[in-house]
Copies of this chain bind each other. A is one copy, B any other.
Amino acid sequence: MATMQDVARLAQVSVSTVSYVLTGARPISQATRDKVLAAMAELDYQPNAMARGLASRRSRILGLLLPMDERGLGATETAFVTGAAAAASVAGYHLVLSPIGVGDLDELRRLASQRMLDGALLMEVQLHDPRVDVLRELGLPLVLIGRTADTTDLSYVDIDFDQTVEEAVGHLVALGHRRIVYVNHSAGTIAEGYGPATRTRDAFTIAMTGHGLEPLMIPAEDSAAGGRTALATALRQAPDLTAIIAMNENAVFGLLGELGGRGLSVPDDVSVVSMVTSPQVAELATPALTAMNSPGSALGRIAIETLLRHVDNANGEIHQQLLPCALQVRGSSGPPRTGSNTAGNTGADGDEPTVPSTEAARRRAATRRRA
């Protein structure tokens, strides 16, 4: 393993000159630079990261703190990670992922106070996230993916839930749907103030009342079973529903399964729009899900760029940015069977069938099969 000494000797310059060639901290003449680079190439020199870090007080490592629960990383998170890693690599930084959850505060403190990280990205941020406090206290540059309740002096990038929900509702209303149910994360998750859950809930209420419609939200556990239960609840509370917006990537599969089990077809009887979903996951369902595509990769890139700005000039201004998800229409949404196909905003509802759509659909389904 060649050291800088070796390079300097071979190039017949001083160590500091070699260092300046590497870092560009001082001007170096072209002739000298060439000599040094040639020597480096010949020796296959690689700077020692530890020595660099010690001397410069910069590790050139950024941490991505991602809690790994048993659900794994969805395609959305993965896109985010790769986007961030690519951006970091371009800037000459390494991005390391650390599976540190809200529970491992000590591990986090250790990692951060050992000065191995120049900065950190926090994923799955809670409204009151103790990790934020720990890192701020240690003075580590920080960018959130998501938002805490109080975002004063904090940089973050997040999904624009308001706009995303509005677009999802708008899509269904434009198709003619009047009775739209929102399937959220679990009641517990909402109660503990998980941002995406509470923000979409509020946005849904606003969007629906804006269209003169009545908002109905159903919480669902993050599992297939939760989705099935949620559908049952939804049909009980709104037998005339024609569309469902689902925030819950896990529940949506159970929901679809239960829909099929009850003989309700998608999208003929019920349209389904999945929120914050990656194309890969949307395609898993049959029919493929109309979904709001999450801007994972862009979020990752922006987050890293923001973080690096903080790292370079410690007093950098904070940066807060929201990105909406883009609607991508696939097979799971269409006009309601009984509804008018126009996007009237007149706000009337309930002027249609007395027979619950569940029943109607069941009969229709049987008829079709017989053919």
- Which residue numbers of A lie inside 8 Å of B, CB to CB? 1, 46-51, 53-54, 59, 61, 68-79, 81-82, 85, 89, 94-99, 107, 110-111, 113-116, 223-225, 228, 250, 253-254, 256-258, 260-261, 263, 278, 280, 283-286, 288, 362, 365-366, 369-370
Contact = CB atoms under 8 A, between A and B. Distances in A.
A284 B110 contact: no
A99 B213 CA distance: 45
Interface of A is mostly: helix
Given A50-B54, A280-B72, A369-B369, A107 B89 contact: yes
A91 B260 CA distance: 49
Contacts of A253: 284-286
A284 B250 contact: yes
Contact of A97 (B97, B114, B256): B97
Contacts of A224: 283-286, 288
Nearest to A92: B110
A254 B286 contact: yes
Given A82-B99, A365-B369, A49 B114 contact: yes
A78 B53 CA distance: 31
A94 B98 contact: yes
B81 A70 contact: no
8 contacts: A48-B115, A53-B54, A72-B77, A95-B98, A253-B285, A260-B260, A260-B286, A362-B369
A254 B285 CA distance: 7
Contact of A96 (B96, B114, B256): B96
Contacts of A81: 68, 99
A46 B114 contact: yes
Contact of A78 (B48, B71, B254): B71
A70 B279 CA distance: 10
